[in-house]
Amino acid sequence: MRDDVAFQIINDELYLDGNARQNLATFCQTWDDENVHKLMDLSINKNWIDKEEYPQSAAIDLRCVNMVADLWHAPAPKNGQAVGTNTIGSSEACMLGGMAMKWRWRKRMEAAGKPTDKPNLVCGPVQICWHKFARYWDVELREIPMRPGQLFMDPKRMIEACDENTIGVVPTFGVTYTGNYEFPQPLHDALDKFQADTGIDIDMHIDAASGGFLAPFVAPDIVWDFRLPRVKSISASGHKFGLAPLGCGWVIWRDEEALPQELVFNVDYLGGQIGTFAINFSRPAGQVIAQYYEFLRLGREGYTKVQNASYQVAAYLADEIAKLGPYEFICTGRPDEGIPAVCFKLKDGEDPGYTLYDLSERLRLRGWQVPAFTLGGEATDIVVMRIMCRRGFEMDFAELLLEDYKASLKYLSDHPKLQGIAQQNSFKHT
């Protein structure tokens, strides 16, 4: 087959995919400038893991680690190099952070002559990667369930779940279901009191998949990162609000003591050796290089402008949607509340004549992927709709969405027999 024919066959087939720019379910970046495409093309044959063969790509990687560590207020490293690594995404980063937690806990228990066969991890409503971690590494997951009026992990329920076998507590700084922050500081303070009362010292890992590249720029007064002494590691997605293309994540440890050395493998680099800690192996270096491009091009000021623009769009949508129906908002996209997401449900006792599933289906006919889904835990009777606002979804797009939103409401009002037949969709990204 000729190469142009093969290309055309595949190109035509891909037209059946949804339009990524209209995907308001995903947290990931769906817009990149031309320079990112060029850098990705230049790096397509550079293997990220081969530090000796591609030393400059490795140097760029290390610079990014230092930049992210500084952004999250990690203590100044003794040798000038922060402790962390790039990953294929925040899920791998969570796995690495969880492994380090388990290893640190096991060392402490062995030193105290105590059994290490029943580790547990305490968290709120988490992304599925933590369920995978618990199953793959044989850790009991004590997930504080969502319940009406208590959708997130709170200090009281967290402490009730903790004991000497708890390897760590994981707040989610940007809960995937709703977009709200699970604020680490109240949980941290409760763990301080728990240690004072029981002598049990419990570490924290912050899953900042989304919030890690938001709060430092638009809500710097929120204390969530290494400013809290119990925080030993933080993970985030570069390809979400870090603005990198898909396939980029980061995990940073407080210091060398927080990352057990038996988990680190040494590889050749510039005539010496460099430590590497990863689950994945071969992959292109382009994502890291593109992340570095965004760091250089935008800087702190540029990131602040980009993220503020997303919050402005979210606030606009929340204000306008509130006028259109009997909605109760869980997240309005304020910087002090969570990520730039709008999440709402129908008010209790209200029946507007349609379900959020119906509305989601109507919007999808216009190309918009706006998920409607039930919450988890003990709140599975609560149906919410969530709209993610990010770079590439600007105010003009938001206005177009609102036009289609209003048209969908009118259609549902004019055709009552079609209401209540749509089911939960599968693109909620929780």
**Which pLDDT tens digit goes with each residue over 141-187?**
999 999 999 999 999 999 999 999 999 999 999 999 999 999 999 99
pLDDT tens digits along 192-211: 999 999 999 999 999 999 99
| pLDDT recorded at residue 210 | 98
User: What's the whole-number mean pLDDT along residues 227-235?
Assistant: 99
pLDDT band at 18 (very low <50, low <70, confident <90, very high): confident
| pLDDT recorded at residue 357 | 96
User: What's the whole-number mean pLDDT along residues 281-305?
Assistant: 96
Instruction: Flag whether pLDDT at 424 surpasses 80.
Output: no
| pLDDT recorded at residue 280 | 86
| pLDDT recorded at residue 16 | 92
Give dist(CA 276, CA 158) in Å, integer: 33
pLDDT band at 276 (very low <50, low <70, confident <90, very high): confident
| pLDDT recorded at residue 268 | 67
Instruction: Flag whether pLDDT at 421 surpasses 70.
Output: no
| pLDDT recorded at residue 334 | 98
pLDDT band at 419 (very low <50, low <70, confident <90, very high): low
83-87 vs 120-123, strand pairing mode: unpaired
Instruction: Flag whether pLDDT at 368 surpasses 70.
Output: yes
Give dist(CA 303, CA 301) in Å, integer: 6
pLDDT band at 278 (very low <50, low <70, confident <90, very high): confident
User: What's the whole-number mean pLDDT along residues 387-395?
Assistant: 97
| pLDDT recorded at residue 266 | 79
Region at 29 (left for phi over 0; alpha for psi -120 to 50; beta for the rest): beta
Instruction: Flag whether pLDDT at 423 surpasses 90.
Output: no
Sign (positive or negative) of CA dihedral 322, 324, 325, 331: negative
Instruction: Flag whether pLDDT at 272 surpasses 70.
Output: no
User: What's the whole-number mean pLDDT along residues 82-93?
Assistant: 97
| pLDDT recorded at residue 425 | 63
pLDDT band at 420 (very low <50, low <70, confident <90, very high): low
Angle formed at CA 130 by CA 127 and CA 131, multiple of 5 degrees? 95
Stronger pLDDT, 267 or 201, i.e. the higher one: 201
Sign (positive or negative) of CA dihedral 219, 155, 167, 338: negative
pLDDT band at 429 (very low <50, low <70, confident <90, very high): low
Domains along the sequence of the chain with CATH: 3-27+310-412 (3.90.1150.160), 34-295 (3.40.640.10)
pLDDT tens digits along 99-113: 999 999 999 999 999
| pLDDT recorded at residue 418 | 64
| pLDDT recorded at residue 267 | 73
Instruction: Flag whether pLDDT at 426 surpasses 60.
Output: no
| pLDDT recorded at residue 427 | 63
Give dist(CA 287, CA 245) in Å, integer: 6
Are the beta carbons of 144 and 124 closer than 8 angstroms? yes
User: What's the whole-number mean pLDDT along residues 352-370?
Assistant: 96
| pLDDT recorded at residue 7 | 96
Give dist(CA 379, CA 286) in Å, integer: 41
Tokens of 116: 């290490």
User: What's the whole-number mean pLDDT along residues 73-98?
Assistant: 96
pLDDT tens digits along 124-134: 999 999 999 99
DSSP 180-217: BB--HHHHHHHHHHHHHHH-----EEEE-TTGGGTHHH
| pLDDT recorded at residue 52 | 84
pLDDT band at 277 (very low <50, low <70, confident <90, very high): confident
Give dist(CA 56, CA 36) in Å, integer: 18
Q: Tell me the one-letter amino acid at 61.
A: D
* Mean pLDDT rounded to a whole number for the chain: 95
